[in-house]
């Protein structure tokens, strides 16, 4: 658990670093975080998107999440294009179990597909079509900012 003001970017990201290191020691490349209500918040160093039935969802920003610039850019690009439906809403942890696709975003990773969580495949365990469409749009428009 991070402190209660996760939306403030500071040098006090020790909690996230520790989550990341713990996940890395277990053989994972990132760690997904959630709150005491079973709501997905973010990853240790990324924001998270979940795709189900053709709809892209990402947790809405509040004090529990660090707002990422790549997340912001992707949302703006997707909304401006209008071909891929996107929602900012509460994302329950259980939704990861039935997600068709999961992505993480960050400045260094841009949009990265997640193909497995805890060794369980996400969707069919392959990079999804929605990710490809979103990545294509992002690549075409990221320099517009």
| pLDDT computed for residue 18 by the predictor | 58
Active site residues: 9
Q: Which of the four CATH numbers 3.40.50.150, 2.60.40.10, 3.20.10.10, 3.50.50.100 does domain 14-144 have?
A: 3.20.10.10
| pLDDT computed for residue 105 by the predictor | 98
Question: Which DSSP helix (H) or strand (E) runs through 114?
Answer: strand 110-114
Q: How far apart are CA 87 and CA 69, in angstroms?
A: 17
CB contact at 8 A, 50 and 58? yes
What is the residue-level pLDDT of the chain in tens, covering all 145 positions? 445 555 565 555 656 665 555 656 666 678 898 999 999 999 988 999 999 999 999 999 998 888 899 999 999 999 999 999 999 999 999 999 999 999 999 999 999 999 999 889 999 999 999 999 999 999 999 999 8
Q: How far apart are CA 126 and CA 113, in angstroms?
A: 9
Domain parsing of the chain, residue ranges: 14-144
CB contact at 8 A, 81 and 117? no
């Amino acid at each position: 658990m991070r402190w209660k003001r996760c939306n403030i970017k500071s040098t006090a990201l020790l909690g996230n670093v520790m989550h990341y290191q713990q996940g890395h020691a277990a053989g994972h490349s990132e760690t997904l975080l959630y709150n005491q209500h079973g709501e997905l918040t973010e990853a240790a160093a990324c924001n998270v998107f979940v795709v189900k039935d053709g709809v892209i969802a990402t947790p809405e920003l509040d004090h529990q999440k660090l707002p990422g610039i790549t997340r912001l850019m992707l949302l703006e690009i997707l909304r401006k294009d209008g071909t891929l439906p996107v929602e900012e809403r509460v994302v329950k942890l259980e939704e990861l179990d039935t997600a068709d696709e999961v992505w993480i975003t960050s400045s260094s990773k841009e949009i990265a597909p997640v193909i497995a969580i805890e060794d369980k495949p996400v969707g069919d365990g392959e990079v999804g079509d929605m990710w490809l469409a979103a990545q294509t749009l992002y690549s075409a428009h990221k320099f517009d900012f």
